[in-house]
Structure 1
Amino acid sequence: MHTHSNQTREALRAAACWLALLESGRASPSDLERLAQWRGSSSEHEQAWQKAQQLRQRFSQLPPELAMATLDRPQASRRALLKQALGLAALAPAAWLLSRQLPLEAWTADVHTAVGERRRLVLSDGTVLQLNTDSAVDLNLEGASVKLLRGEVALAVLHGRNQVLQQPYGQVVISGADVCLHLFEQACRVSVVKGQATVYPLSGGAVVLQAGQQTDVGADGPGRVAALDDLLLGWREGVLRLNDRPLGDLLNELRRYRPGVLRWDPELERLRVTGTFRLDDTDRVLALLAASLPLHVQTHTRYWVSLTAREIRG
């Protein structure tokens, strides 16, 4: 469902990495040759590169005084200033691309995290709110509701308390329960760890989820109720736990916590992996995989890493 969008987004991230390398002044002749090969490998790559060039040219015309004024404004005017000029994006077009085209409301959110960052807050009613990597939420003044703008959140609501979590495809009413929401391109996954939650979609009838259940809610309403996928919940403790799962499952989750590009040979996805991997050091996770599985880790730059299959010799 998300294949085309994910490919476009990855091409933009790759273009941002190439742009950052060129602007650093450290690009070698072989780097330039690799860039030419990357651009020529698909029309999508070339379109992403042209967009990066257009952004660089556009932002280069911004007077430095305006950029400095943006940074010097008081914190209280942050939202209005961003909505008027997007000055922060103007200061660093490569970083803007690396943000994977964040919606404006995510830039101006009450609480947000960068790629690889996680945050934990306690709201006024005692609700514990956790944000996963690359996520953003808005909070109302009383703390009675949370609006998910991007990424993934977990809420632990005290017994006897209610919390409303809004998302683009409806809302979730949580009463004394632990619930996780993950917003994708065209759906929001609601997972109940403890207690129960009621999903009120924009289209279709309400769905009550019990502990150990999850469902995806989209523009057409809720999907089928399925068993909870434990792999997707370990981030609350800063880990990914796998028990005889395909390596592709781990890699697809792992690159959410790494800025830049992480690529791998498709044949590696079939390898099986078991273990607990800490999210605070993804470089170490890759090193552990290379030590235990037939694969090589190739680090082109800090923000460009590729995994290739290693031949097994008898």
Structure 2
Amino acid sequence: MPTAVAVQTLASPALSRRHAVRLAVAIGAGAGGLLALGQSPLGQQAWRSASADLATATGEQQRTVLADGTRLLLNTASALDLRYSSSERLIVLRAGEIQIESAADPSPDPATGQARPLRVRSRQGWARAIGTRFTVRQYADDTLVQVQEGQVELQLRNDMRQTLRLAAGEQGRIAAQQLLREAAAPAAGLAWTQGTLVADDMRLGDFIAELARYRPGRLHCTPEAAALRVSGSYPLADTGQVLAALSQTLPLRIRSRTRWWVTVDRS
């Protein structure tokens, strides 16, 4: 099966886990297709989307309300699993970024009568909601947590004795070996929840890296253009429009090999 067809099929929201596994086996039976697909970033994203309880494609955002009333907003290329039990409410963030607005537990633990804790687990640790609204973003080496309302308690996966409580307006990181409290959470960091990308004298290289999260394919900024500065508010729904706007205000040349291979260079 051609890789492009396999990726599209695996990423389909209608594909069940069982069918995804069967398809993966079929691909693997033919000329090492599964190996090639699984080792590529696109293939890894497709597999996460196909096997996760909730997932979004590149450039897609999704709002959902869970059975307990908790509201979720999934950002681009995000995937998570829901592991609710009689003793806890656990959201496992496998990739990407989510915003959580916690709700009171309608089904307390029958053994204790206490409300079940609501926690988000990333690769580095946990974030426990304390009547709150907050965002969690999974990076390659750490997890960023930003609190908008209430409080959130962070816990390190490698050392559960380490905890850090964040209040509204604060942000922190869960790294491999430590919890870090950072400066106040920037308002621009929440712009994605309104469908925009906000830059305030931002390096163009960093801006393009963020914009690339919302655009399928490869979007690259050359070193010659990366040092330019950009400011403004840009709609995430149309990344092509954003690139066109940048080329009109900055000395840039947008070079497109195909729709999925774009380079931003200095003119």
Scaled to the shorter chain, the TM-score interval is 0.7 to 0.9
* Alignment partner, residue 270 of structure 1: 227
Answer whether contact 1:192 1:212 (CA < 8 A) is retained. Answer: yes
Per the alignment, residue 149 of structure 1 pairs with 94
Quickly say closer, same or farther: Cα 1:85–1:167, change in 2 above 3 A: farther
How far 1:95 moved relative to its partner? 9.4
Larger-gyration structure (1/2): 1
Residue 180 of structure 1: aligned partner: 135
- In 1, the alpha carbon distance for the partners of 2:218 and 2:165 equals 38
Q: How far apart are the structure 2 equivalents of 1:86 and 1:193?
A: 44
Residue 99 of structure 1 aligns to a residue whose secondary structure is helix
Distance 1:105 1:253, change over 3 A: closer
The alpha-carbon deviation at position 225 of structure 1 amounts to: 3.0
1:139-218 to 2 correspondences below 5 Å: 139-141=82-84, 144-158=89-103, 163-202=118-157, 203=159, 205-218=162-175
Q: CA 1:166/1:82 → structure 2, altered by over 3 Å: closer, same or farther?
A: farther
Correspondent of 2:54 among 96, 105, 111: 111
Aligned position for 1:136: 79
- Identify the structure with the greater strand proportion: 2
> 2: CA distance between counterparts of 1:165 and 1:212?
19
Structure 1 residues 124 and 284: CA distance shift in structure 2, 3 A:
same
Structure 2 counterparts to residues 243-258 of structure 1, below 5 A:
243-258=200-215
Match of 1:295 among 249, 252, 255: 252
Partner of 2:112: none
- Over residues 224-259 of structure 1, what are the superposed CA-to-partner deviations in whole Å (9 max), with x where a residue is unaligned? 433213333211111111223222232110011111
The whole-number CA distance in structure 1 between the counterparts of 2:56 and 2:27 is 18
Question: Could you say if the C-alpha distance between residues 78 and 144 of structure 1 is closer, same or farther in structure 2, counting changes exceeding 3 Å?
Answer: farther
Structure 2 residue 18 is the aligned partner of structure 1 residue 77: yes
Displacement after TM superposition at 1:104 (Å): 5.5
Kindly provide the amino acid, as one letter, of the partner of residue 156 in structure 1.
E
- Local SS of the residue matching 1:257: coil
Equivalent AA in structure 1 for residue 44 of structure 2: Q
- Give the partner amino acid of 2:54: V
Does the Cα contact within 8 Å between 2:37 and 2:44 map onto a contact in 1?
no
CA distance in structure 1 between the partners assigned to 2:216 and 2:35 by the alignment: 15
Which whole-Å CA distance do the structure 2 matches of 1:175 and 1:219 have between them? 23
Q: Any idea what SS the aligned residue of 2:162 has?
A: coil
Q: Distance in 2 between matches of 1:80 and 1:255?
A: 29
Seq. identity, %: 32
Q: Structure 2: 5+ residue runs without aligned partners?
A: 106-114
Secondary structure at the counterpart of residue 247 of structure 2: helix
Helix, strand or coil at the partner of 2:44? coil
Query: Would the alpha carbon gap of residues 91 and 181 (structure 1) be closer, same or farther in structure 2, given more than 3 Å must change?
Result: same
Cross-structure match for 2:188: 231
Following the alignment from structure 2 to structure 1, what is the Cα–Cα distance between the partners of residues 49 and 16?
A: 16
Using the size of structure 2 for normalisation, the TM-score is 0.79
Q: How many angstroms does 1:79 deviate by?
A: 5.8
TM-score (norm 1): 0.68
Structure 2 CA distance for partners of 1:92 and 1:219, relative to 1, 3 Å: closer
SS in 2 for 1:220: coil
Q: Deviations over 1:34-88 (max 9, x none)?
A: xxxxxxxxxxxxxxxxxxxxxxxxx9xxxxxxxx9xx9x983633653675567x
Q: How big is the alpha-carbon RMSD for the aligned residues of Structure 1 and Structure 2? A: 3.4
Report the CA distance shift for 1:111/1:84 in structure 2 as closer, same or farther (over 3 A): same
* CA deviation profile, 1:191-250 (whole Å, cap 9, x unmatched): 112221001112251100011111111221212433213333211111111223222232
Q: Name the one with the larger helix percent.
A: 1
Contact residue 98 and residue 259 of structure 1 kept, 8 A: no
Alpha-carbon distance, 1:297 to partner? 0.8
